Structure 1
Amino acid sequence: MQQRISAIGCVLTMLALAGALAPAVASTQAPPRSSPQATPPEATRPSDLPRPPSRLPKSPKETARGLDFLLGALKAAPDQESARHVEAQILALWSQSSSDTTLLLMQRVKTATDAKQLDVALKLLDAVLKLHPEYIEGWSRRATLHYMRNDYQRALEDIEQVLSREPRHFGALAGLGVVMQELGDDKRALDAFRKAITINPYLERVQELVKSLTEKVEGRDI
């Protein structure tokens, strides 16, 4: 039972975090700065460490360039705190939309989900995806809701939609791993988790799952 609770926590964190973080990130012009005491001298930072942009891009081309940059910054982040700031901006990019209707519906999805009105949230997400089928966060949220309802087949279908649009979506990859683990396919779960941490090395819970599944699937080194 405890293992299932941990798995649910992982998939909810990975797949639904974008919606929770996006409003706060989007309303901020620059990521929070650490205190002077917590910030190492400039000379101690890697010279080639990319820094995240101070605003969210507006055009599709600018979004793509910004995402590439941020994913590079995430991999090169020197510590967990730095990675968390970059990750928040990545999740905000995946959540942004030029459609006010989409954003309004997504806010209602969050309200319904928080109230455990999953049927209502699913109907709202169906409307979002009909209106905006390329909206990654819509597929990601719906995958999470299907998982919460133990509808693993539909969760997998929506995760596939996310990854077909953005193969580097570490949240969807982590979610895929959790679903495959629930279905008893530890080998595919391990593969998905490994891909997730290759893109985002700071997924601590996924790191733990990779370690435990590696021992289970491939055995311990002698």
Structure 2
Amino acid sequence: MRFFACLLTAFLGLTALPAGAQEKARPQQDPAPPAREAPRPSTLDELFDRLSKAESEREAQGIASLIERRFSRSGSDTADLLLSRATEAFKEKNYPLSIELLDRVLVLEPNWAEAWYRRATLFYQLDDPVGAMADLYQALKLEPRHFSAWTGLGHILMASEDKARALEAFRRALKINPQIEMLQTLVTKLDHEVAGQDL
């Protein structure tokens, strides 16, 4: 029995070497690589800078999506939840509920440009261009780089035959997001029409 115990001990190398030698015999482990820091998320200013320099519509769409995601967060969980519910109500064409929820959002977060933009979209859907324009101007006062608000304003102005101001709104949107192909076409078209009116 003792033979097997000795054999096992020798096999494990526990008595074959002195304590100090045992330490030396152990393979040295490489030090753990330093933990990589998570990349710092881009600031909104950095995203807008990248958007202005995007070389394709696809690249611009990806950056614009990141910006829109930032726009859709107010910093208040309650306001964000109400905006989400208002969006769902809008999709279900429950416009009265959507307006009620957006009104509550704007009471909670009156300086949230995206909430004004969303309510403007709803007013436009309800054939209230005056209400829509008022909310778009408020959104743009709070966030002048809101390219979707400039685009929406341009469409309302174009529908009311105010082509010169529509052209200016579309140009403002393109200055922020130059790769919107549909707006490039509209600007070219309106440019000719407005120039023709000036003659």
Pick the aligned partner of 2:122 from 139, 145, 149.
145
Residue 186 (structure 2) pairs with residue 218 (structure 1): no
Report if aligned partners of 2:163, 2:194 keep a CA contact under 8 Å in 1.
yes
Return the alpha-carbon distance in structure 1 between the equivalents of residues 167 and 192 of structure 2.
10
Displacement after TM superposition at 1:81 (Å): 2.1
Residue 69 (structure 2) pairs with residue 92 (structure 1): yes
Report if aligned partners of 1:56, 1:93 keep a CA contact under 8 Å in 2.
no
Identity %: 41
Report if aligned partners of 1:108, 1:124 keep a CA contact under 8 Å in 2.
yes
More RCO (CA 8 Å, sep 6+): 1
Rg larger in structure: 2
Residue 140 (structure 2) pairs with residue 163 (structure 1): yes
TM-score (norm 1): 0.68
Return the alpha-carbon distance in structure 2 between the equivalents of residues 101 and 107 of structure 1.
10
Q: Note the alpha carbon deviations across 1:91-143, whole angstroms, 9 max, x for none.
A: 11111122111111111111101110111101100000001101111101000
User: Structure 1 residues 211, 165: closer, same or farther in 2, change over 3 A?
Assistant: same
Residue 93 (structure 2) pairs with residue 116 (structure 1): yes
Partner of 1:192: 169
Displacement after TM superposition at 1:85 (Å): 1.5
Letter in 1 for 2:103: D
SS at match of 1:168: coil
User: Structure 1 residues 55, 110: closer, same or farther in 2, change over 3 A?
Assistant: farther
Letter in 2 for 1:186: K
Segments of structure 2 that go 5 or more residues without pairing to the other structure are 1-37
SS at match of 1:106: helix
TM-score (norm 2): 0.76
Partner of 1:136: 113
What's the Cα RMSD here? 1.8
Displacement after TM superposition at 1:219 (Å): 3.1
Letter in 2 for 1:92: R
Partner of 2:158: 181
Residue 31 (structure 2) pairs with residue 81 (structure 1): no
Aligned residue pair count: 160
Moved over 2 A (4+): 53-57
Displacement after TM superposition at 1:54 (Å): 5.8
